[in-house]
Structure formats: C-alpha cells, structure tokens
A and B are shown apart, each in its own frame.
Chain A
Amino acid sequence: MTNVRSLICSFKTQFTVIFFALSNKALAEWEDLNMTQGATAISREVYDLHMLIFWICVAIGVVVFSVMFYSMYAFTKKKNPVAATFHENTKVELAWTIIPFLILIAMAVPASKTLQSIYNDEAGDVNIQVVGHQWYWQYRYLEDDVNFYANLSTDQDEIYNKVPKGENYLQEVDEIVVIPVGKKVRFLITANDVIHSWWVPAFAIKQDAIPGFINTAWTIVDEPGLFRGKCTELCGKNHGFMPIVVKAVEQDEYDLWIKEKQSAAIALAELTEKDWTAEELVARGESLYITNCVACHGPSGAGVTGIFPALAGSDIVLNNKARQIEILMEGVQGAAMASYAEKLAEVDMAAVITYTRRSWGNAEKGDGEIVVPKDIVEYKQNKI
C-alpha cells in the first residue's frame, strides 16, 4: 500500500516537474521568438509599446474576423434567400471612422512619448563618436581621447567551414566598446565611406550612420553585461562581418579601462622609435594584414579580379616602396582603397607593408626592401 502511494506521489511530482519544465521551455522559446526586452529603461518601454500594439492588433483581428465569419455563416443564401435591400448606414459608417481614429490616437500618444525620450540628444556623461567604415566600426571617446577600431575577430576558417563555429560566430570583435553602468552614454553616429547602421537590440538603438551627418542615440544601462549588435544597412561585400560588442561595467572598472587604453596608445607610439628587423615587422604585420586587408586582397594576396588588385606579384609591392606607402597613407582616388593613415599607427603601417613585401614570394621577385616606422614618420613630415 505504501509502495503504491509513494509511486503515485512520485508520479505526481514527476508530472508536475515535467509540466513546469515544459511550460518554462515554451515560455523561453516564446521569449526567443519575441522582440527582446533589452537592458535599459528605453528598451523596456519599446518592448511594452510593441506588446501593447500587438494586443490591440489581436483584439481588432478577433472583432473583425468574428463579424466576418459570423456573417458568412449566418447569412448564406440558404438561410437568407431574400437579399436585404438597404444601403448606406450613417451610424455604422460614423462608428467605423471614429473608432479607428480613436484607436490610432490611443497608440500614438504613448509611442510619441517614447520617441521623444529616444530623440533626446543632450550631452551624456560619456560621449562616444561611432564611425562606420567598410567594414569595421571606429569608436572615439570624446572626453578621454581614446580612439580604437573594432574589427570582426571570428577566424576566417570558421567562416569558410574549415573548423567548427564558435559560440559567438560573427558576433565577436577584437576591441570591445566599454561603457559605465548607470551613466548616460551618448553615441554620435556617422560614417566614413557609405551608409552603415549601428544596431544594438538590447539598447533599442538602431541608428543610420550616414557620411556627413551625425545622428545621435543614447543609453543608460542598469546592470553590467555584454551586448552584441550588427551593421544593418547593406554596405558592401563584408556587410555581414562588422559586428558590435558593447560591455557595460561598473564606474571604477571603466576608469581603469580608460587608463589602460590611454597608456596602450602611448606604448604604441613609443614602438616607432625602436629599431625593427624585417622578421619582427613581418611577424607583427601578419595579424594586421588579416584584420585589415584580407577582406579585399585575400589571404594569399590574390585580390579579386577586376575589383581589388592582387598584391602578390604587384609591381608596386615588388619594386616601388614609396608609392606603396603613399597608397596606404592616402588611399586611391576613385577606387575602394581607403586611407589607413588614421587607422594604423606608424609601426603597424610599416609592419603591414613589410609583410606584403615579404610574403607570397614577393621578396624573391622584387627588391625585397622593408619599410620601418621611421619611413612612415618621414612621409608624414614631408607631407607637412
């Protein structure tokens, strides 16, 4: 008897556990399908608006389709052989004009309120200029003189299915944007070449980045966390490969990070003074080449016929050091090649040029001359 009882009891518990597991799972899946609630007051407001308008639509749908299906059922030719002869009904027409009007107003009021607070472009505690480039984002912390570029850090082998894909496939970058929690962070969004769009769903920010315009967006994040986003305006062949990662941290951690960034910039500038050997430059240049150049010129320097010139066996890369420096510093007028003068420090510029001159058999075919950071400094001085 006790055995049966305990059996029933355990069945009951198991049933309850399974039931709850199922409903939790169903709930979690629904949350995945639905719009995110995000991590800020504004994003929750946007979510609530979305749900409010969703349920209004559901209610309207129920009413309209009920009337429609009821009429189809109740007034068939069989049940209602003599057609009605009336036409026009001013009362009904007035009702179906005024009611939708009132519904629209009822939706517009809360929506406009939220829009108004979204478009508040007063200065933040932290102001970050966000610049879209083909195909990476640049971030400049206006108060702290911190400037960096966030490139996709997913391995090319993952993209080309040579190795299994990581958890954050195409959603990871080499430099994360760090912001303090509980502070107003304002983003000043623009672009350098073509139209991009800076989208972080958790902040309910999706703002076009247009060259020559500065669009603003702002956020106050409550809890520390890592938030991911993407570029959402077709901007060329690597549009799908310029993700956004924002990390919200406590104020003291943020201050520390800013200091680290500032001293890293100083350390990088000091590397210019060092005496570099060809091997050191090639070693430094390889990863820079992968981050900055592979997208167009390809992993083996072959380029894309008719669009992006090959670097392997190119006459400029083989024999014309001066012209190569000039191309990287100034870009090429009328071509996709942009200037890297701002993006790459002197030492990195020298390293990546040297890498191309020493790779893919270029060293044997050409003059094999390397470029050292001082060459870049010299170029800059001559230009002035």
Chain B
Amino acid sequence: MSAVIENHHDDHGHHGPAKGLKRWFYTTNHKDIGTLYLWFSFAMFLIGGAMAMIIRAELFQPGMQIVEPEFYNQMITLHGLIMIFGGVMPAFVGLANWLVPMMIGAPDMALPRMNNLSFWILPFAFTMMLSTLFMESGGPAAGWTLYPLLFQLLMRHQAQPSLYFLCILWEPHQ
C-alpha cells in the first residue's frame, strides 16, 4: 500500500499540463480548449467590431466619407461572417467546452485530441479569410449570406471565393 503511494509521489512531476505555448497547442483539457475558444472569439469580436466602426463612421453623415462602396461592401460582408462564425459560434462552443463536461459529470469531452484539433483549425480558417482583404480585388462583397448571382458575379473577378467556403465549411467540425 505504501509502495503504491510512493510510486505515485515519484511520478508527480511528470503530470500536469505542459508549460508555455505547448500547453495550448497540445492540450486535451476541455477547460483549456474552452478558454482557447473564448479568447479566439474575443479577438474576432474585436476585429469584427472594428469593421462595424468603419461601417458606422462611413454612415455618420450622408455622402462618401472615408471608404468607397466596394470596400464598404467588403466590410459589411466580413463583419457578418466574422461576428457569426468567428465570434458567436466559437463563444458558444467555448462555453459548452467549459461547462458541459462538468454539468454531466464527465471527466472531459469525448475524443479530447480531436477537440484540440477542432479548435486549431479556426485560427487558420480566419487567417485565410482575412487575408483576402489584402488580395488585389479585395475581400468578399456580396453580404454575409453570400447570395448567389451577386456572389457568382463577384467571383468572376476574384480567385479566392473557394477560400470563404473552405473557412465556413471547416466551422461545423467544431
């Protein structure tokens, strides 16, 4: 009995989370992953919010004030996509990651490794989506619903629409 306790004592240093960045990249802890989701969602809220500020600043007075219509439409589109898919949904997932296992009395989420990977897809998806703003013909400009016809018409000038679909399609894997 005492030997068992001693063994356990010796191993103690190797348990617990990894330190530094590795902790967050490798974590399978539902609370850590929940925290990642919540911080990601907060960052997206700030980016999407900054876009809302651009929209409102432009609308502050009638007439063309600070941005051109093309860029304005890119702002309303990306604002919608980022707030819904980058802000609201990850925030719910983050809360659920934190709370659901505790509420149902489970030690962790099912498939914790996949839980980690599901999160780490998100930063890449949204980096790709935001990168379109820096491409020659700009970001998506057909509204966040990406209604066809207008979206298709704009697609003809833009090589990157597949990027948006990829970004959004990744989302359900959360």
How many residue pairs between the two chains, A and B, have CB atoms under 8 Å in the bound complex?
A: 57
Q: How far is the CA of A236 from the CA of B140 in the complex (A)?
A: 11
Residues on B with C-beta less than 8 A from A170 are 62
Residues on B with C-beta less than 8 A from A161 are 63-65
- Mask: chain B, 81-108; 1 = CB below 8 Å from A; 0 = not: 0000000000000000000000000000
Q: Which of A4-12, A74-82, A214-222, A304-312 contacts B (4 or more CB under 8 A)?
A: A304-312
Q: Which of B7-15, B20-28, B141-149 contacts A (4 or more CB under 8 A)?
A: B141-149
Asked if B70 and A160 make an inter-chain contact with CB atoms under 8 angstroms apart, the answer reads no
CB B143 to nearest CB in A, in angstroms, measures 4
With A234-B143, A237-B70 as given contacts, are A307 and B157 in contact (CB-CB < 8 Å)?
Answer: yes
Asked if A195 and B137 make an inter-chain contact with CB atoms under 8 angstroms apart, the answer reads no
Residues on A with C-beta less than 8 A from B62 are 165, 169-170
A294 within 8 A of partner (CB): no
CB B139 to nearest CB in A, in angstroms, measures 13
A104 within 8 A of partner (CB): no
A110 within 8 A of partner (CB): no
Q: How far is the CA of A134 from the CA of B39 in the complex (A)?
A: 41
Chain A contact residues: helix, strand, loop or mixed: loop
- Of B63, B142, B156, the residue contacting A334 (CB under 8 A) is B156
Asked if B150 and A307 make an inter-chain contact with CB atoms under 8 angstroms apart, the answer reads no
Asked if A194 and B157 make an inter-chain contact with CB atoms under 8 angstroms apart, the answer reads no
Q: How far is the CA of A211 from the CA of B153 in the complex (A)?
A: 13
- Of A194, A304, A305, the residue contacting B150 (CB under 8 A) is A194
**Which chain A residues numbered 128 to 160 have a C-beta less than 8 Å away from chain B?**
158-160
Residues on A with C-beta less than 8 A from B149 are 193-195, 211
Residues on B with C-beta less than 8 A from A235 are 150
Residues on A with C-beta less than 8 A from B143 are 234
Asked if A236 and B137 make an inter-chain contact with CB atoms under 8 angstroms apart, the answer reads no
Q: How far is the CA of A36 from the CA of B70 in the complex (A)?
A: 32
CB B41 to nearest CB in A, in angstroms, measures 26
Nearest CB in chain A to that of B154: its residue: A236
- Of B64, B136, B137, the residue contacting A160 (CB under 8 A) is B64
Q: How far is the CA of A305 from the CA of B137 in the complex (A)?
A: 8
Asked if A305 and B136 make an inter-chain contact with CB atoms under 8 angstroms apart, the answer reads yes
A336 within 8 A of partner (CB): yes
List 3 A-B pairs, minimum CB-CB distance, nearest first: A194-B150, A194-B149, A237-B69
> What residues make up the interface of A, taking CB atoms closer than 8 Å to B?
158-161, 165, 169-170, 193-195, 211, 233-240, 304-307, 334-336
Could you list some 14 contacts between A and B, CB below 8 A?
A: A158-B63, A160-B63, A161-B64, A161-B65, A193-B153, A195-B149, A234-B142, A234-B143, A236-B150, A236-B154, A238-B69, A239-B73, A305-B136, A335-B156
